[in-house]
Each structure stands twice: as C-alpha cells, then as structure tokens.
Amino acid sequence: MKDKNAPPSETREFMVFLVKLAFFVVILRSFIVSPFNIPSESMQPRLMVGDYLLVAKWPYGYSKYSMPFSIPVIPKRIFANTPEPGDVAVFKAPPGARDDYIKRVIGLPGDIIQVTNGILSINGVVVKHEKIGDYIHAVSPNSPCYADYFETTNENGDRICRYPQYRETLPNGRTYKILDINEASEGDNTQSFVVPDGHMFLMGDNRDRSADSRFPAKEGEAIGMVPQENLVGRALVSVFSTDGSAEWIKPWTWFTAARWDRIGEDFE
C-alpha cells in the first residue's frame, strides 16, 4: 500500500516542471514576444543578416498566426489593431502564409502607392527622399558586398561595403533610412497600386533587393498585397547580432563574431 506521507517522486516533480515550463513558453511566444532572426538583406540598413530580434505580439492583436506553427486555436483575429505606416512588421507571407517575412508598412487600405524612378509617392504626394551619408558595414560571412564595386577599405585597411543611403519620411512623420543600390532596377518604376480593404502595402528598406508588395505574390519570393490577418507582430528590439564568423569548436569566436553595437537597438 502506498504511503500517503511519502515525498513525491523526483521524476514526477521534474516532469511537472517541464510541463509548466512548456506552457509558459507557449504563452510567452503566442501572446507576448517571440524571437526572429534576419535571413536576408532586404531590410538593410536597419536589419542585417545575423540579427536576432524580439517581435511584440500584442500591438496588432492575435490570430492563429500568433501561435507556434500557426495552430488554429484562434479562428479570427482578436483585439485587432491596424499597423501604422513606418512600422516594421513580421507576417506570414502570401500566397501560402507559411513563411515569416519582415518588411516595413508603407500603405494601408485605400492608399494609392507608386514608385517612379525610385521615388515613392503615396496618394499622389511624393514622399520626402533625401541623400545622406553612405551606409558602411564590414565585409563578413553574413554580409558580403552586393557587388565588387561596392567594396573598399577603411583607414585601418579593413574590407568594407559602401552603399548609397537615403532618408525617407512618410506623411505621418515616420522617418527611416533606405538603400538605393542600383540606378535602375525592376522595382524603381511601378504601376499605381490601390491597397484593398483589410490589406497592407509593404516594402523592404533595401529597395533594390526586396521582393515585396511591388511584385505579385509568389511562394518563396514576392508577397504582393498582404492581408492584415497575416500579421504576426511588430519588431521590438534587437537582442543579438553575429557576423557569421563564429565556429562552434572555437568558443572564443562566439564573442569576436558578435556585433555588439547592434544589440539593444529598438524600432521606434
């Protein structure tokens, strides 16, 4: 007969702890914040390959896309909020809504968006676009130069990439930096897009290297107009960044590869 006064099994206590921990992680990732790492250069200069950030789940409300693996426990968006132009948003990319993408919100329902000779206009008004100092970053495994002619060296002889950089200011006053690498690229001249109800027009800050709402949605490539119901969350803060030079068998490289100056940057 089992002694009711016997201490609980250590194995049972450990299993209960694991269940509670898993429940906490699911709640945290579904409703508060989730991690996201940058896989491409489409959001340079704000985001680089090897950046890790936290995505806030609460700003836009919750849906099945808030849940890990898009588990359909929430049938529709609840506590829904419309993003603001200029927000850096994470979303499930059309047409399949399987992959997470990150872009900047440019237009909302009813807005008319067009790009002419690389200059953005919203509702017929040209968006302020001013040249600023070049964007410079070190050459690394995660961040090679787009082409050889962008590569040079700094005063210390270190290899760097140097790109033309501009500051863009939206009608609501939100301002951010963009890259315009090529003088004439496929996305520099577009038709006029009217953003449909319940959708968003999004663009990457690296305008010549972003398959965004300027192009028709195609699985694994461009995204077209994105339904707001596909929103996952808003970029919150950078928590780590690596240049890709670390090796697992050389622990000291975990520190030398870190881009410490990029850690802690927010998105306001």
| Residues identified as active-site | 42, 103
- The strand pairing partners of 160, in sequence order, are 138, 152
Q: What's the token pair of residue 235?
A: 């970029």
User: Measured between alpha carbons, how far apart are the two ends of the chain, in Å?
Assistant: 64
Contacts of 119 (CB under 8 A, 6+ apart): 126, 127, 129
If 0-12 CB within 10 Å is exposed, 13-18 middle and 19+ buried, where does residue 38 land?
buried
- Count of Cβ atoms closer than 10 Å to residue 124 Cβ: 8
